[in-house]
């Protein structure tokens, strides 16, 4: 699985650092699964190449937003419950072949 890092731009370095600390605290306390487990779930759901993974809070609940490409060239976007690993939402679409442009 290939991993591309996409860094969100924030106005201050301190914000990124506090986000990192919050994610670590949530992981240590058991409130969220480790990213490695979530990526295994994403791979089982058909993601062959990872494009992006983010931890977000939606309605007082933590979720992982995972985006990647399947081996059939479909773009797959998953919303995964960060505590249970259950896939809450799955969207996919066929990617255009860039060589045809």
Q: Give CA separation, 75 vs 13, 64, 67, in Å.
A: 31, 17, 7
Tokens matching residue 24 = 């670590």
Tokens matching residue 82 = 């960060």
Q: Give CA separation, 56 vs 16, 23, 101, in Å.
A: 13, 10, 35
Cβ-based burial of 70 (10 A; exposed 0-12, middle 13-18, buried ≥19):
middle
Break the chain into its structural domains and give their ranges: 33-100
> What CATH code would you report for 33-100?
3.10.450.40
pTM to 2 decimal places = 0.76
Q: List beta partners, residue 19.
A: none
pLDDT tens digit sequence for 35-54: 999 999 999 999 999 999 99
Compute the average pLDDT of residues 4-27: 63
């Amino acid at each position: 699985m290939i991993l591309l890092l996409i860094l969100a731009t924030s106005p201050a370095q301190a914000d990124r650092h506090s986000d990192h600390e919050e994610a670590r605290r949530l992981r240590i306390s058991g409130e969220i699964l480790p990213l490695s487990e979530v990526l295994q779930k994403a791979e089982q759901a058909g993601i062959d190449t990872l494009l992006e993974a983010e931890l977000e809070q939606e309605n007082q609940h933590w979720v992982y937003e995972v985006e990647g490409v399947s081996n059939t060239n479909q773009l797959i976007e998953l919303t995964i419950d960060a505590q249970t690993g259950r896939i809450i939402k799955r969207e996919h679409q066929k990617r255009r072949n860039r060589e045809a442009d």
